[in-house]
A and B are shown apart, each in its own frame.
Chain A
Amino acid sequence: DAGVIQSPRHEVTEMGQEVTLRCKLISGHNSLFWYRQTMMRGLELLIYFNNNVPIDDSGMPEDRFSAKMPNASFSTLKIQPSEPRDSAVYFCASSLGLGQGNTGELFFGEGSRLTVL
């Protein structure tokens, strides 16, 4: 069974450019989380979805960030326009919805390292 798949693994872009990060959930999972990791701030939850519906986006830094789930198995995180302070590793993670007999763990993708020059 394939795990959570993120693309691209690495992205280098210039300030002001649009960046789109992609995530494919594990089949059957219906919760999706986007995290950002930096040395200074650790792992920050940006947004999470249950059954394609955004539940909590309070961690999204500002209007330049947006996330969507166009279908049950796929999500995008978009930054427009990008800034150097957005440089970080962005992780996507999925899980089964609670109440389905699962034990609540997240399954992570390998992360997308973003560098904004």
Chain B
Amino acid sequence: AQTVTQSQPEMSVQEAETVTLSCTYDTSESDYYLFWYKQPPSRQMILVIRQEAYKQQNATENRFSVNFQKAAKSFSLKISDSQLGDAAMYFCAYRNAMNRDDKIIFGKGTRLHILP
């Protein structure tokens, strides 16, 4: 069974600085998707960034980028120029790309605090 591990329950970063959130996963599949979701206090789950496993290039979305290391099964999220609005719970997630078992598994989350 696939698992997703986020080893940092909480992190803090100074406003305008850069922070990296860690995520590792375990799977025997070769084709899958990886995601980072953000959950602010409003509790709405918002997609931050996605990565297809077959793509070697790391995904980027404005201030958000990932470091995808397929061999190491690592998928970290880097937030540059942190802003107060980035304060939230961040979840790493994995999804098989095979229809027979395409459920999405989430890590337990990392709570990110932004210090003014």
- A contact set with B: CB distance below 8 Å: 31, 33, 35, 42-43, 45, 48, 50, 55-56, 89, 91, 93, 97-99, 103-106, 108, 110-111
Assess the A105–B43 pair: CB atoms within 8 A.
no
Smallest CB–CB gap between A21 and chain B, Å? 15
Please state if A111 and B102 are interface contacts (CB–CB under 8 Å): no
Known: A42-B108, A45-B103, A103-B33. A108 touches B44 (CB 8 A): yes
- Does A50 lie within 8 Å of B99, measured CB to CB? yes
Please pick, from A56, A103, A106, the residue contacting B52 in the complex, using a CB distance under 8 A. A103
Which chain B residues lie closer than 8 Å to A35 at the CB level? 106
Whether A42 pairs with B109 at a CB distance below 8 angstroms is yes
A108 closest partner in B (C-beta): B45
Residue from A43, A55, A97, A99 with most neighbouring chain B CB atoms (10 Å): A43
- Neighbouring A residues of B97 by C-beta, 8 Å: 98, 104
Which of B102, B108, B109 is close to A98, meaning CB atoms less than 8 Å apart? B102
Q: Chain A nearest CB: distance from B46 CB in Å?
A: 8
Task: Report chain B residues within 8 Å CB of A110.
Answer: 43-44
Quote the shortest CB–CB distance from A31 to chain B (angstroms): 7
- Knowing A89-B43, A93-B45, say if A104 contacts B33 (CB, 8 Å): yes
Residues from chain B with a CB closer than 8 A to the CB of A103 are 33, 50, 52
B52:A111 contact, CB within 8 angstroms: no
Q: How far is the CA of A77 from the CA of B53 in the complex (A)?
A: 33
Q: Is the CB of B50 within 8 A of A105?
A: yes
**B94 nearest in chain A by CB position:** A104
Which residues of B are found within 8 Å of A93, using beta-carbon distances? 45, 104
The one of B33, B50, B99 in contact with A97, judged by C-beta atoms closer than 8 angstroms, is B99
